[in-house]
Amino acid sequence: MKNTRKIVRYAALIAAALLLAVAFGCASAPPPAAPSCSDFTGTWNTTQGPLSIEQNGCAADGYFPSPTRFSSFRGVVTGNRLEFSWEGPTGSGMGAIYINETLDAFTGTFGAGTRLDDATWEGVKGVWPEGSPR
């Protein structure tokens, strides 16, 4: 009888240990985090003129509202990088800009066709200069 009680107690301990192992050791891993993307939304004073960027999630659209050289771009933000394709009166091409940690300035490059390095580009977030078309 004593041996039977020991066996039952031992079996109960093993069963409890197995339940704990299953509950805590075999839980599925959490889903991967969504990719982070910095917020480029807003108006920018840039070396290429006034720029407006609208962002939805990690997708971004931008435009230069100049009546003489209206240009627009569409791109994707990954981390602090916005990579885009642009179109305008002088052609089309590609570019990439990198926003700083405080999200109020960027630097980057753009080019015609598939080139990304025809020209450099800088911008500061803020109100457009007086007299800029909107």
Judge whether 24 lies within some domain.
no
| DSSP 8-state assignment for residue 79 | B
- Give the pLDDT score at 92: 92
Is the CB of residue 79 less than 8 Å from the CB of residue 103?
no
Neighbours of 106 (CB within 10 A): 24
- Give the pLDDT score at 89: 84
Q: Exposed e or buried b for every residue in 80-94, given b needs 16+ CB within 10 A?
A: bbbbbebeeeeeebb
Is the CB of residue 39 less than 8 Å from the CB of residue 59?
no
d(CA 75, CA 59): 6
The domain containing residue 93 runs over which residues? 42-125
Judge whether 80 lies within some domain.
yes
For the domain that residue 121 is a member of, what is the CATH number? Answer: 2.40.128
Judge whether 28 lies within some domain.
no
Judge whether 73 lies within some domain.
yes
Long-range contacts of 89-93 (CB under 8 A, 24+ apart): 93/118
Is the CB of residue 88 less than 8 Å from the CB of residue 70?
yes
Q: Which amino acid is at 68?
A: T
Number of domains in the chain: 1
Judge whether 37 lies within some domain.
no
Structure confidence by residue, pLDDT tens digits, 4-41? 565 546 555 455 554 444 455 545 566 656 558 999 99
Residue numbers in the chain where pLDDT is lower than 50: 8, 13, 18-22, 26, 134
Judge whether 110 lies within some domain.
yes
Judge whether 26 lies within some domain.
no
- Give the pLDDT score at 19: 47
